[in-house]
Structure 1
Amino acid sequence: MSLLSILLLIVMSFSLALSELCNPQDKQTLLQIKKELGNPTTLSSWHPKTDCCNNSWVGVSCDTVTPTYRVDNLDLSELNLRKPYPIPPSVGSLPCLKFLYITNNPNIVGTIPTTITKLTKLRELNIRYTNISGQIPHFLSQIKALGFLDLSNNKLSGNLPSWLPSLPDLYGISFDNNYISGPIPDLFASVSERFGFISLSGNRLIGKIPASLGKPDMKIVDLSRNMLEGDASVLFGSEKHTERIYLANNLFAFDLGKVRLSKTLGLLDVGHNLIYGTLPKGLTSLKDLYYLDVSYNNLCGEIPRGGKLQEFDASLYANNKCLCGSPLPSCKRF
């Protein structure tokens, strides 16, 4: 090979190195994460000789707005890991990360690593459908930028965290299908004004709903499949913008006929409780209502006529104390 050819190769290599967008530290961290996960084949596109910011690395996205490209989105979902691994501690070494997804990985085990607190710009943390365990760690309260926290479908235990109001931008939590127990703490009066989503379905929560849970104007509330009891009417209100309420399979007992409904309500599931009274007449004026389940309660009276109430299947009204009228059998007149 001639000297000229060698010089051309050197220049080309240098030019390629300069043209790479991926930050060298971020790239090294990603390769370390891959190693800590046993080098799964699903991350085979993570090759040291390619650019991690040119959309060729599966699950990796970079901030292309700022002059210095940094990894800001990491999706470690469906990795098909060959054996159990903990969440890679190295994820904490991506300082510009805003979104982290670790989902559908049954071979992810252990606890949430403390290194995650170094992700000071993290807005969304999604760890779902894994086998991580332990309590929801208090150190997550150090990530002040956190807006949405989804830790559903894992093996987490302990009580609901009392530090949630310390996150100034928090707008939603989802802890569905874990082993979280105890009462719902009385702390929701001081959560962010943006707080509009709470989903705690399929846990072991007990006791009554705190009055503070009725303070936020939440679009979605899911407390179904727990052992909660008492009055849940604080969750309703005509001044709110609630779209979906799931309270099924609990021990709630309150007069449903006295609640005032949000005009935007599209779904109301209160089946399998101890709820009494009549159906609220406001149900007939809900233009967005597409699902209603009041079955297996102690409701009485005639189902109001109008709106979409007669379109729902009779089974969604069944097994009440004395509920009647279309689509159930007509009320007896005496």
Structure 2
Amino acid sequence: MTQQPFSRPGAIDLSSLQRPATPPPSGAAAPAGSDAAAGATGGATSAYAVSVTEANFQTVLESSMTAPVVLVFTSPSQSPESVRFAEDVATVAAEHEGRFLAATIDVDVSPQIAQAMQIQQVPLMLVLLDGRPATQPIPGAAPIDDLRAMFTQLAQQLTAQGFAGRHQPQSTVPAGDEGEDEQAVDPRYAPAQDALAAGDIDGAVGEYQKLVEANPADHEAAAGLAMAKVLQRTQGVDLHAARAAAAADPDDLDAQIMVADLDLLGGHVEDSFARLVEAVRRSVDKDRDRAREHLIGLFAAVGNDDARVLKARQALASALY
């Protein structure tokens, strides 16, 4: 199988294929938990695989803004081997733990998508990033070892170009439990989440720290670690006393940081960020660096793609320069 170079420039815009749909909630990276995906053919069962129809195609495109989506076009009636190929792609995508989302399109069920994308044969694979093709279409059913080599190469090229995003694991509901709509928990994060549920914040910090050390590009673990540290720092703190201390001495960086943490926990994200931007503006030397680094840590806790974070980054740049 010829390995395709990863490329963003010059990709074909697929916006004409998008249909009106309810946008995913903030922080959601992929659509498999949606009712439309659950009703699609293909039976995707991997934590990083989804079946695609016209109903959820736009959401799949949107998920490629986070990390690549690997579209596989199949036809059980025309090409039985295409179904097995799609299963192999899902298997390999799962091995990369969120770096890719495998998305299967049955052209017998969704011929409009195949026609719009000018799909002439099945099986055919196409990698999407930022809602557009990032490689040339790859025809044919390649052996799984060739797929592993190609995915590894793409992952390396993504990392080299600074793309470290990961998809959230998809919701997988066992047969017979269709009434349950609970998101599957990624087993990597279970120990940290269990510790938080038990009130063991120090334990959660330790578990998230292990994940970040093992994979610095794991943004979910980094966000979990940042938020767990906020919880750790604010344990037992009296909110009113903290606010009074910060108001009494605007130059007390420790006091400003504490209130920023408390504001974040209370849902006052913009206030939290604004307080630390002002601390950066007022501080010099080591204090300034400390305020900036703490603010960046809070950005991670909220999510670096959050609109409030993007706005605060601009304010931080203005305060620094």
Per the shorter chain, which TM-score range? under 0.3
The answer to which structure has the higher strand fraction is 1
Structure of greater Rg: 1
The answer to which structure has the higher helix fraction is 2
